[in-house]
Every structure is written in C-alpha cells, then in structure tokens.
C-alpha cells in the first residue's frame, strides 16, 4: 500500500456524494453519566473526517443518525461509518451496520457480524484460544451466578459486551475475593450484562493498528501507553481514554514506536494480522496487547477504532507509518471498496456465534 499518495483516489466514489454517519443520544443510564464523553467525541470526529475527505475532492454530508430514517441513507453513494453507540441510543453499533447491509448501502469499516462478535470479549477470546493465540485466562459470570474464581489473582473485571474501556475504572483490578464479588455485582447492576473476569497481566500496554484488507493489509509501528500514575493503576481506564480533564488522562502518553525488541515487535504484528483476518475485520482496526517479558497476550480486537486526529492511537501510529490524517481517511474509504469479499468470512463467524454463544460465554 502506497503511503501518502495524493493521487490514489477512487473516482467511482469521489464523483458521488457520501454521508459521514455518527449518532448521539441525550440519555444516559443512572451511574453512567460520565460515559457521555465518548458520545460527544463522535460528532467532533465526524467533522474532522468530513474536512479530510473534502481535501481529496469528496462531497459529503454530516448525518446524525435517526434510526427511524436510516433508509434515507440510500440516496448516498457511500457512507463513512463512525456510528458508535452507548446507553440511550436505540441501536447498537452492529445493528446500525446490519441495517446498512440490508439496504445494500456501501459503508466503511467492519460488517455487522464482526462488530457483534468482537464486542463479545468472551467469544473473541475463545476464538483466539482455538487458533493458538495467547490471551489471558478468563471466566464469565452472569447475574445470579455463584462466584468461584479459579483464576490467579490479581484479576480485572469488565463488562463482557462493551468497548472503549467502558466499565473499566481505577478499582477494576483486585487481589481478593470480596472485592471481586463487589466488582462483578457492580458490572451486573450498571451494565445489565455478564462480567468478564480476566487474569491481570502486569506488563506493557501495546497496540497494533492495521489498515487495509487481504494481502494488502498493513500493520503500523506498534505503540505503547506509558503510564505516569502509581504502579497499581497502570492500565487503561475509561477516564484515562476519554476524560481530558482527568488526572488519568493527563498522566499517560502514547509512545510510537514502542520500546520493544524488533523480533518481539514483528511477532506481535504477525499475531495481530492473524487475529484481524480470523475475526473478519475490514478496512481498519486496532488490537490491544499486554506484553510481559517475551510473551504478548492479546486482550481484544477493536474494529473501527477512534479516528480522533489528536487522541487516537490509530491515527498516531498511521502518522509514524507515513500517512497524514487526510491520507488515512482517504485510504480507509478506498479500502472499503476492496473489502466486500470479506463479508462471507464475517457472516460465517456470525452464524457460529449465534449457534454457540451460550457454550462459549459460559466456558471456564
């Protein structure tokens, strides 16, 4: 994939008008009001994406999605999909793309099946294990399940179906049974879903960003989060990722490239590509690892990661690879034209998810 090319523009989509799709909500669940930070960013990113595409000659309209009028998107030649959803929006991210697929609307990023399965951390981890990819040991607890933890402490507790570090706070890591019970119950109460309990790997937070599809997919130089907070809090919380005025946000930085030996970096990049293709990811994604010694544990796969020009690890690593912000956005749109063949892979995985979800999610 050629880097920083100003002439690599898909004229078939440039000549047609597109939509920059995002969605916001004025409703938040009680106790989760702080998660509005993630919702607010989406509208701002939509504006920067539109500006980037304008420099390449694309015509586009900002669309704050109304679920009842999603069919109106058929009038556009393409959709740059930024739709992430939090509490209060009637459709989840995968349901938005599912409707776009039903309407045969061309859109950027991963399809509905991939978004669905990657949002379920337990299912994703089970798939990784099946294909020999290292991931921390885990257990899943539904509301009402007795807690009999067979994992090594310390452990981290998070909602099984969220992304963007939603549900992860400074006290989400614990080393005792009493706190574990409390954290599981808090997850059930606030997020109304199962709690994922995972062995906490004391190591570096390393991220690998990927752009493209098939043999053309490339990994950017891996980055790492450098924490300036006390040692017991060296993991990425929701506040550290989204709340710009918080101490957690101000006391960590993203360093790219990361401080790892070249051989280990290459190993992590190859593992990331394997997982990216395995889960049917399309166009772009970010994969999060925890590295301890010479072992890299894949924590989760994030299709359609943030494209914030200032705070996104994906964007920072893309720049290190040689892309300007405008180049990155253009390449995502171009890649979306080439990634449609991946739909079969994604749908197959989605069907497997639907038929086996109970067995996977209760696996110990």
In 3D space, the residue among 274, 285, 270, 271 whose CA is nearest the CA of residue 335 turns out to be 285
Percentage of the chain surpassing pLDDT 90?
65
Bigger pLDDT: 254 vs 262? 262
Q: How confident is the model at residue 165 (pLDDT cuts 50, 70, 90)?
A: confident
Q: What is the pLDDT of residue 9?
A: 60
CA distances from 130 to 26, 125, 289, 298, 355 (A): 41, 9, 18, 13, 17
Structure-derived torsion over alpha carbons of residues 20, 25, 29, 30, reported in degrees to the nearest 10: 130
Bigger pLDDT: 303 vs 353? 303
Task: Provide the 8-state DSSP code for 231.
Answer: G
What is the spatial distance between Cα 269 and Cα 210, in angstroms, rounded to a whole number?
9
Per-residue pLDDT averaged across 252-265, rounded? Answer: 92
Domains of the chain plus CATH, in order, are 11-109 (3.40.50.20), 116-134+201-358 (3.30.470.20), 138-199 (3.30.1490.20)
Bigger pLDDT: 361 vs 20? 20
Q: Is 283 helix (H, G, I), strand (E, B) or coil?
A: coil
Position 5 pLDDT exceeds 60: no
Q: Which two tokens stand for residue 207?
A: 């991220």
Could you tell me the pTM of the whole model?
0.88
Q: How confident is the model at residue 7 (pLDDT cuts 50, 70, 90)?
A: very low
What is the spatial distance between Cα 33 and Cα 47, in angstroms, rounded to a whole number?
24
- Give the HSE-up count for residue 60: Cα atoms under 13 Å, Cβ half-sphere: 28
Q: How confident is the model at residue 88 (pLDDT cuts 50, 70, 90)?
A: low
Q: How confident is the model at residue 178 (pLDDT cuts 50, 70, 90)?
A: very high
Which of 13-17, 75-79, 339-343 is the most confident on average?
A: 75-79
Residues whose CB is less than 8 angstroms from the CB of residue 307 and which lie 6 or more positions away in sequence, other chains included = 45, 48, 49, 82, 314, 315, 328, 329
Question: Following DSSP, what letter does each residue of 23-55 receive, concatenated?
Answer: ---S---TT-GGGHHHHHHHHHHHHHHHHHHHH
Residues facing residue 291 across a β-bridge: 204, 296
Instruction: Indicate the range of 83-87, 225-229, 308-312, 337-341 predicted with least confidence.
Output: 337-341
Position 6 pLDDT exceeds 60: no
Q: How confident is the model at residue 24 (pLDDT cuts 50, 70, 90)?
A: confident
CA distances from 133 to 270, 277, 278, 357 (A): 11, 13, 11, 20
Position 232 pLDDT exceeds 80: no
What is the spatial distance between Cα 9 and Cα 58, in angstroms, rounded to a whole number?
9
| pLDDT tens by residue, 44-87 | 999 999 999 999 999 999 999 998 999 999 999 999 999 987 65
Instruction: Indicate the range of 128-132, 332-336, 353-357 predicted with least confidence.
Output: 353-357
């Amino acid at each position: 994939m050629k880097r920083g090319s100003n002439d690599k523009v898909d004229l078939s989509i440039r000549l047609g008008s597109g939509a920059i799709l995002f969605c916001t909500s004025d409703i938040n669940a009680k106790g989760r009001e702080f998660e509005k930070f993630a919702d607010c960013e989406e509208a701002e990113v939509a504006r920067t994406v539109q500006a980037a595409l304008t420099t390449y000659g694309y015509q586009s309209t900002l669309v704050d999605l109304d679920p009842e009028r999603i069919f109106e998107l058929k009038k556009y030649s393409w959709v740059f999909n930024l739709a992430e959803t939090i509490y209060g929006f009637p459709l989840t991210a995968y349901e938005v793309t599912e409707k776009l697929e039903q309407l045969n609307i061309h859109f950027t990023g991963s399809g509905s099946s991939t978004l669905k399965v990657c949002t379920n951390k337990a299912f994703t981890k089970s798939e990784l294990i099946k294909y020999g990819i290292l991931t921390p040991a885990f257990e899943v607890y539904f509301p009402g399940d007795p807690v009999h933890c067979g994992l090594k402490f310390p452990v981290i507790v998070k909602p099984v179906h969220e992304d963007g570090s939603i549900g992860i706070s400074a006290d989400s890591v614990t080393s005792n049974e009493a706190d574990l019970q409390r954290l599981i119950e808090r997850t059930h109460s606030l997020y109304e879903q199962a709690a994922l309990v995972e062995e906490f790997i004391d190591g570096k937070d390393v991220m690998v960003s990927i752009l493209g599809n098939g043999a053309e997919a490339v990994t950017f130089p891996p980055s790492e989060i450098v924490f300036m907070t006390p040692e017991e809090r060296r993991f990425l919380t929701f506040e550290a990722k989204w709340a710009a005025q918080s101490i957690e946000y101000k006391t960590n930085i993203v360093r790219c490239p990361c401080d790892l030996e070249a051989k280990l970096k290459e190993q992590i990049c190859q593992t990331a590509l394997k997982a990216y293709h395995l889960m049917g990811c399309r166009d772009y994604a970010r994969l999060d690892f925890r590295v301890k010694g010479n072992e890299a544990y894949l924590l989760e796969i994030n299709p359609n990661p943030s494209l914030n020009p200032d705070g996104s690890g994906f964007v920072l690593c893309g720049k290190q690879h040689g892309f300007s912000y405008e180049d990155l956005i253009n390449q995502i749109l171009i890649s979306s034209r080439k990634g449609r063949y991946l739909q079969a892979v994604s749908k197959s995985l989605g069907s497997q998810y639907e038929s086996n979800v109970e067995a996977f999610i209760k696996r110990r």
